[in-house]
């Protein structure tokens, strides 16, 4: 069962995808509205072996799911996120 930490206020940079990122998303064969997030710390898409991931970001009452980390560095990361349909 997924468990999420309580709401935490963080600073991010939400940016459109680059040409290379768009080509990568096209290769993943998934559809939706995608953006790139630059953020301090490390966040993950679903990784069952590490028992991590499924990170969600709520920005202006819209929920974004981490699809995959595009860059992981010790103190920051760049993430591919997809807008989720809230019900």
Whole-angstrom distance, CA of residue 49 vs CA of residue 20: 28
Q: Domain residues of the chain, as ranges?
A: 12-83
- What is residue 84's predicted lDDT score, i.e. its pLDDT? 92
Tens of pLDDT, residues 44-74: 777 667 666 678 888 888 999 988 889 989 9
pLDDT value of residue 78: 93
8 pLDDT higher than 80: no
Q: What pLDDT is attached to residue 29? A: 84
With 0-12 / 13-18 / 19 or more C-beta atoms within 10 angstroms meaning exposed / middle / buried, residue 26 is exposed
Reference 82, options 17, 19, 27; nearest CA is 17
pTM above 0.85, yes or no: no
């Amino acid at each position: 069962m997924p468990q999420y930490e309580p709401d935490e206020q963080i600073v991010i940079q939400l940016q459109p995808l680059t040409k290379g990122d768009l080509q990568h998303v096209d290769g993943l064969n998934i559809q939706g509205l995608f953006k790139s997030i630059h953020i301090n710390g490390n966040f993950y898409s679903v990784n069952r072996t590490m028992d991590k991931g499924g990170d969600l970001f709520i920005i202006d009452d819209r929920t974004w799911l981490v699809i995959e980390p595009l860059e992981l560095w010790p103190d920051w990361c760049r993430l591919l996120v997809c807008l989720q349909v809230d019900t």
